């Protein structure tokens, strides 16, 4: 593997790395190959948050009006062996020049999780003009494993079977996260290889009519009130913090929306119904405070030091955030907005 971490990915995505998740980073790369305003399909109708009870105190977290993969015309494909997956990926690379791999951070040498932690990680694999295979991974973050910088790396063909291997089964939290991104009840975690294939032609990013119906009632405030109640009741237990990374994704969606709206305001022409990015600064700040509280509360709960008062502080932060998001209900990006370039 040749590491070109200073090389930028298509569409200048490295500059957006601190506002993306592994899901939106990979899908942004897919979209950026077609147009500059790649954020529009990813943010249409959002940022939004929905949660559904999933048993054992867990929830399915949805960060889009519609699951992002199907809204972009992408569907999950799986294979049990490289003998099956390799030719299928070659065909997609030949026809489209790129493919989104639903991979495992444990298998990816440019990721901090490499050989340290199994974690779902989507990335874009593309064939360059000179025939090489390059991974564009603009995601930037800092976690307990260290700092992850955006990367653009060249893979040799013999490296593909390992780099493209899928997440192993066993984590309900990961399964719920993948299900939300794919729009599936069963995200089919278990086969050795998983990737996304285009399933239709035309304007695959146009949201269906039912999305407009969803816009009449914003689920975000309800989700935040429900989370406040859950942490008030269970916040002293380590198990309450199993899905903090899903809340981190909610923060990143709002950071992405704020940055994208700022770009929209200076573009010409700017859509008339595009909100002012300044409206989201309070929400971003509140989400960041919430994540700090959750981080410290999780450490305290795991050490057995978290009392009911600390859990109440976390619950109150969710309630305060619900009030901020309620005021922003009319400031979400327009539904049905597709990239214009």
Closest to 89 in 3D by CA, of 121, 137, 59, 126:
126
Residue 265 has a pLDDT of: 86
Mean pLDDT, rounded, for 1-18: 62
pLDDT at 35: 84
**How far is residue 246 CA from its own chain's centroid?**
9
Report the predicted TM-score, pTM, of the whole model to 2 decimal places. 0.91
Position 337 confidence tier, pLDDT thresholds 50, 70, 90: low
> Rounded CA gap, 328 and 82, in Å?
47
Please list, residue by residue across 236-273, b when 16 or more beta carbons sit within 10 angstroms of its beta carbon and e when fewer do.
Answer: bebebbbbebbbbbbbbbbbbbbbbbeebeeeeeeeee
In order of 31, 39, 188, 190, 214, the CA distances from 36 in angstroms are: 8, 8, 32, 35, 28
Sign of the CA dihedral with 204 first, then 210, 212, and 214 last: negative
Give residue-wise pLDDT tens across range 59-86. Answer: 999 999 899 999 999 999 999 999 999 9
Q: At what angle do helices 172-182 and 244-266 cross, to 10 degrees?
A: 30
Rounded mean pLDDT, 29-43: 92
Residue 135's nearest CA partner among 30, 279, 56, 258 is: 30
Give the bridge partners for 262, in sequence order: none
Please name the residue that has the structure tokens 């077609």: 34
Nearest to 252 by CA among 144, 176, 142, 335: 142
DSSP state, residue 137: E
Query: What is the C-alpha to C-alpha distance for residues 246 and 235, in angstroms, rounded to an integer?
Result: 16
**Quick one: CA dihedral 192, 198, 200, 204, positive or negative?**
positive
Higher pLDDT, 104 or 306: 104
Of 40-44, 117-121, 248-252, 270-274, the one with minimum mean pLDDT is 270-274
Query: What local confidence, expressed as pLDDT, does residue 217 receive?
Result: 64
At residue 149's C-alpha, the angle toward residues 341 and 302, to 5°, is: 120
Q: Please choose, from the candidates 140, 133, 136, 132, the residue with its C-alpha nearest in 3D space to the C-alpha of residue 122.
A: 136
Q: What is the pLDDT of residue 216?
A: 53
pLDDT, tens digit (0-9, with 9 covering 90-100), for 196-225: 999 964 444 444 444 444 445 679 999 999
């Amino acid at each position: 593997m040749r590491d070109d971490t200073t090389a930028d990915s298509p569409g200048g995505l490295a500059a957006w790395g601190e506002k993306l998740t592994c899901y939106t980073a990979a899908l942004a790369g897919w979209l950026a190959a077609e147009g500059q305003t790649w954020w529009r399909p990813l943010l249409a109708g959002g940022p939004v948050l929905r949660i559904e009870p999933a048993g054992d105190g867990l929830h399915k977290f949805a960060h889009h009006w519609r699951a992002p993969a199907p809204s972009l015309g992408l569907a999950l494909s799986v294979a049990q062996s490289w003998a099956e997956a390799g030719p299928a990926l070659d065909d997609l690379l030949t026809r489209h020049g790129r493919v989104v791999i639903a991979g495992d951070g444990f298998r990816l040498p440019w990721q901090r999780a490499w050989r340290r932690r199994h974690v779902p990680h989507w990335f874009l694999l593309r064939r360059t003009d000179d025939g090489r295979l390059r991974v564009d991974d603009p995601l930037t973050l800092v976690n307990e494993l260290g700092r992850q910088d955006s990367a653009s790396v060249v893979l040799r063909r013999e490296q593909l079977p390992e780099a493209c291997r899928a997440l192993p089964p066993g984590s309900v939290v990961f399964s719920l996260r993948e299900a939300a991104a794919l729009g599936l009840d069963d995200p089919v975690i278990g086969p050795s290889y998983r990737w996304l294939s285009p399933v239709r032609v035309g304007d695959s990013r146009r949201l269906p009519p039912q999305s407009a119906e969803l816009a009449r009632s914003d689920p975000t405030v309800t989700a935040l009130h429900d989370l406040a109640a859950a942490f008030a009741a269970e916040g002293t237990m380590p198990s309450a913090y199993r899905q903090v990374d899903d809340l981190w994704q909610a923060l990143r969606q709002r950071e992405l929306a704020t940055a994208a709206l700022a770009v929209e305001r200076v573009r010409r022409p700017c859509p008339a119904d595009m909100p002012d990015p300044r409206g989201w600064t309070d929400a971003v700040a509140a989400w960041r405070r919430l994540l700090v509280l959750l981080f410290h509360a999780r450490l305290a709960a795991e050490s057995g030091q978290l009392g009911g008062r600390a859990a109440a502080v976390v619950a109150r932060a969710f309630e305060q955030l619900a009030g901020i998001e309620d005021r922003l209900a009319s400031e979400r990006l327009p539904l049905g907005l597709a990239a214009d370039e």
